Amino acid sequence: MRWAVHVSALFSLLHCFRPAGSAAIPRDDECRKTKIAILGAGVAGITAAQALSNASVTDFLIVERNDYIGGRVRHTQFGVNPKTKVPYTVEMGANWVQGLGSKGGPENPIWTLAKRYGLNNTFSNESSILTYDQNGYEDYTDVLGAYEKVYGVVEQDAGYILTGNLQDTSMRAGLSTAGWKPKKDMRMQAAEWWAWDLETAQTPEESGFLYGITGYNLTFYQFSEENNYVWDQRGYNAFVIGESQTFLSANDKRLLLNTTVKSLAYSDQGVTVKTQDGCIKADYAIATFSVGVLQNDAVTFDPPLPRWKREAIDQFQMGTYTKIFYQFNEAFWDPNTQYFLYADPKVRGYYPVWQSLTGPGFLESSNIIFVTVVGNEAYRVEQQPDEKTKDEGLAVLRSMFPGKRVPEPVAFYYPRWSFEEMAFGSYSNWPVGMTLERHQNLRANVNRLYFAGEATSAQYYGFLQGAWFEGRAVGEKVVQMVNNQTNSTGNMTRYEVLHGTTALVEYTPENGWPASSLPNFGAGSEA
């Protein structure tokens, strides 16, 4: 790691370490001092630090438990290139740029950065799909078309909830009212999984209706409907590292890798950060931990977070999205098709979407295919041994391709996001019954402790662009505070009493709603 900082050396240099054998917590006057402690070096943390640097605020520290920059933008080596014998890089986490942008319209900042760093990527063609069930190939693409048609009604219905300040419901209810009732039709279930669960990592039952649709509109209609798959062999996080190098020098002492935050003591005077081997006393802190980390009490807060904050953390949800990679010694599937959808006769979401990387524009002739599971199926496979998962997937492939010999793979791997202590899940999804008001409570600061990350984005939760926008917003906010450029107390809008719905006049930038989700996509409130 080019940016490696020897944490222990750094701490001893600054007399901020716990002497060997001593269990004593360091006294505050022994802590390393900084203006702003940025907790996490994912997209939100790095973007917040860049916003500070852009405003010439340079007295900050970035504290990160991993030994790399990027957080949930994370890759690994998998299999080998049959020709060169070099291992492939595959993404365990974020993989697509979702919603690119159109001429004259706003551009997804992640797409801007993907272009800036020349990330190799290829358009994911969702029409390049073949459909299967337990008896092999069966063309039910018409069912995919039927879902699309109903979805056109569903998104308008969500628009009425928004503009009428009506009571929200679940995506399941929204689909049902529009006439989509898959019940035990496993092809309809597969089509629905492909269109909904693969994006949100949760079921329509678990997903909030209104904000599920606004999220889709703001990314895929405001920017564009394209998803581009990043297969760059440096890893997708090359863009995050690239951005960090715009303000961090090699071996910059402001980046503390391998440093785990254990507790945060916060007040109107500042924030004291205790790590596994030291402490930092900051005027302000920006926590970019995932909702999963916050829900699992992986970091303790002193005083405990107020009730309005805890309730918001407890209600927002993390989905789990697990990519299971297979490399074979030959491709027994059509190498010119990108997606293979499988409808299991019994279990919805059982090894449902297989994606080939061996075709043109991807890891060509790699003979790599991966299958994605989410939600309960992700928890199930993450709890069982590799061997069992590998065999289950092979059995599915054998029923999809009955005429083909499906051999043992030459390489097999999958990450276990639900166990990863850096995140405890993959990305957030808007649950049933959460209003914009309550979501604002997830975003809002408590005293001098600020929050940012994909989940604090009301408009792009779950996506990289959510982490980017929120990182920038909180960075700019803290700049105003430290530079006395504001008469504000620093307290962001929060709702200690909730109302069950969110009035149209509350769809404002202060509540995390800078753009409209309605067809004109104008700036400002929905009104």
Ligand X SMILES: Cc1cc2nc3c(=O)[nH]c(=O)nc-3n(C[C@H](O)[C@H](O)[C@H](O)COP(=O)(O)OP(=O)(O)OC[C@H]3O[C@@H](n4cnc5c(N)ncnc54)[C@H](O)[C@@H]3O)c2cc1C
Under the rule (CB under 6 A), what is the footprint of ligand NAG?
1, 4-7, 47, 50-51, 54, 67, 120, 125, 127-128, 155-156, 158-159, 162, 210, 213-214, 217, 221, 232-234, 257-258, 268, 446-447, 472, 483-487, 489, 491, 517-519
* Burial class (CB within 10 angstroms; exposed 0-12, middle 13-18, buried 19+) of 195: middle
Give the Cα separation of 196 and 203 in Å (integer).
7
Binding of ligand X at residue 197 (CB under 6 A)? no
Question: Pick from 72, 75, 348, 477: which binds ligand X (CB under 6 A)?
Answer: 72
- SS3 for 419-458 is CCCCCCCCEEECECCCCHHHHHHHHCCECCEEECCHHHCC
- Residue 113 is a binding residue for ligand X (CB under 6 A): no
Amino acid identity of 439?
Answer: H
CA atoms of 113 and 458, how far apart (whole Å): 22
The structure tokens listed for 291 are 């909702």
Residue 331 in tokens: 């491709």
241 binds ligand X (CB under 6 A): no
Pick from ligand X, ligand NAG, none: which does 298 bind, CB < 5 to 8 A by kind?
ligand X
Q: Which of 131, 290, 315, 355 binds ligand X (CB under 6 A)?
A: 290
Q: Answer whether 50's CB lies under 8 Å from 243's CB.
A: yes
Q: How far is the CB of 238 from ligand NAG (least distance, A)?
A: 8
Q: What is the rounded CA–CA span in Å between residue 274 and residue 264?
A: 6
Return the residue of 417, 450, 469, 513 that touches ligand X, per CB under 6 A: 417
CB of 106 to ligand NAG, least distance (A): 14
44 binds ligand X (CB under 6 A): yes
Q: Does 130 bind ligand X (CB under 6 A)?
A: no
80 vs 195 by CB, closer to ligand X: 195
- Nearer to ligand NAG by Cβ, of 22 and 489: the residue is 489
User: Nearest approach, Cβ of 37 to ligand X (angstroms)?
Assistant: 10
| 362 binds ligand X, rule: CB under 6 A | no
> How far apart are CB 458 and ligand X at their closest, in Å?
14
Residue 519 dihedral angles phi and psi, to the nearest 5°: -50, -35
C-alpha 490/C-alpha 496 separation (Å) is 17
Of 210 and 478, the one with the shorter C-beta distance to ligand NAG is 210
- Closer to ligand X at the Cβ: 25 or 166? 25
- C-alpha to C-alpha distance for 82 and 89, rounded to whole angstroms: 14
Closest CB 360 distance from ligand NAG, rounded Å: 10
Both tokens of 350, joined, read 């059982």
Quick one: 255 or 373, whose CB is closer to ligand NAG?
Answer: 255
CB-CB contact of 351 with 392 (8 Å): yes
Is 298 a binding residue for ligand X by CB under 6 A? The answer is yes
194 binds ligand X, rule: CB under 6 A: no
335 interface partner picked from ligand NAG, ligand X, none, CB below 5 to 8 A per type: none
CB contact at 8 A, 105 and 372: no
Is 10 a binding residue for ligand X by CB under 6 A? The answer is no
Rounded to the nearest 5 degrees, what angle is found at the Cα of 437, between the Cα atoms of 432 and 440?
100
Site for ligand X in 243-272 (CB under 6 A): 260-261
Closest CA to 71 of 382, 321, 263, 290: 290
Cβ(199)–Cβ(372) below 8 Å: no
Is residue 485 classed as helix, strand or coil in its secondary structure?
Answer: coil
Considering the rule CB under 6 A, would residue 293 count as an interface residue with ligand X? yes
Give 293-302 contacts, CB < 8 A, sequence gap 24+.
Answer: 293/421, 293/422, 293/423, 293/424, 295/424, 296/424, 298/421, 298/424, 299/261, 299/262, 299/263, 299/264, 300/262, 300/263, 300/264, 301/263, 301/264, 301/265, 301/266, 302/263, 302/264, 302/265, 302/266
Residue 447 interacts with, from ligand NAG, ligand X, none (CB under 5-8 Å by kind) = ligand NAG
Q: How far is the CB of 255 from ligand X (least distance, A)?
A: 12
Q: At its nearest, how many Å lie between ligand X and the CB of residue 350?
A: 19
Residue 521 binds ligand X (CB under 6 A): no
Instruction: Please say which residue, 233 or 508, places its beta carbon nearer to ligand NAG.
Output: 233
The smaller minimum CB distance to ligand NAG, of residues 102 and 233, is found at 233
Distance CA 391, CA 407 (A): 11
How far apart, in whole angstroms, are the C-alpha atoms of residue 187 and residue 164?
A: 35
Q: Which does 99 bind (CB under 5 to 8 A by kind): ligand X, ligand NAG, none?
A: none
Chain residues binding ligand X by CB under 6 A are: 39-45, 63-66, 71-73, 93-96, 98, 260-261, 288-290, 293, 298-299, 321, 417, 422-423, 426-427, 453-454, 462-464, 466-467
